[in-house]
Amino acid sequence: PAVAEMMAETTVVWGTMQIPFQSPGMWGARFATNPPDRFFTYVAEHRGAILGMASVILLGELRRRHVGSVGMSVATRAQGRGVGRALLERLLQTADALRVHRVELGVYVDNDRAIRLYERCGFVREGKQRLLAFRDGGWVDNLVMARVRAS
């Protein structure tokens, strides 16, 4: 239930590709069906309240097993307080330990705070996906970013 509560916050869902108003059962099913050997999730919490969540899924296709795809969200009350950075740094430590060479993500082009965080953590802009999502009554572009480790 706590994940569903955080993900229902207007400012949180605004920055994600998630559909608003997903039930706790939908979130539980999502976590239950992810492959445990390729899906890693970290949660920041304080006194039982979720402050943020970040996941990396290792891609399963033979030619892309060196790639991890990141998704993350931070609760409204915790934004700008280092929660996102702590979660992302932990994800990158996990990716490095698993010898993941490419960590990629997508972020809406107008999510300046998230873009700055990703760039501070070594991600670079690779391209833009035009009109990728429908949000708040209009189309929004998505920025593709990645951090690539040397072999």
Query: What pLDDT does 19 receive?
Result: 62
- pLDDT, the chain, mean: 85
**Beta carbons within 10 angstroms of residue 80's beta carbon:** 11
Flag whether pLDDT at 13 surpasses 60.
no
Has this prediction a pTM greater than 0.75? Answer: yes
Look at the alpha carbons of 42, 45, 48, 49 in this order and tell me if their dihedral is positive or negative: negative
CA 28, CA 79: separation in Å to the nearest integer?
24
**Beta carbons within 10 angstroms of residue 25's beta carbon:** 10
Look at the alpha carbons of 23, 26, 27, 32 in this order and tell me if their dihedral is positive or negative: positive
pLDDT bucket at 23, cuts 50 / 70 / 90: low
Q: Could you report the per-residue pLDDT of 59-96, keeping only the tens digit for each? A: 888 889 899 999 998 988 888 999 999 999 999 999 99
**Domains of the chain by range and CATH?**
2-105 (3.40.630.30)
Flag whether pLDDT at 56 surpasses 90.
yes
Query: What pLDDT does 76 receive?
Result: 86
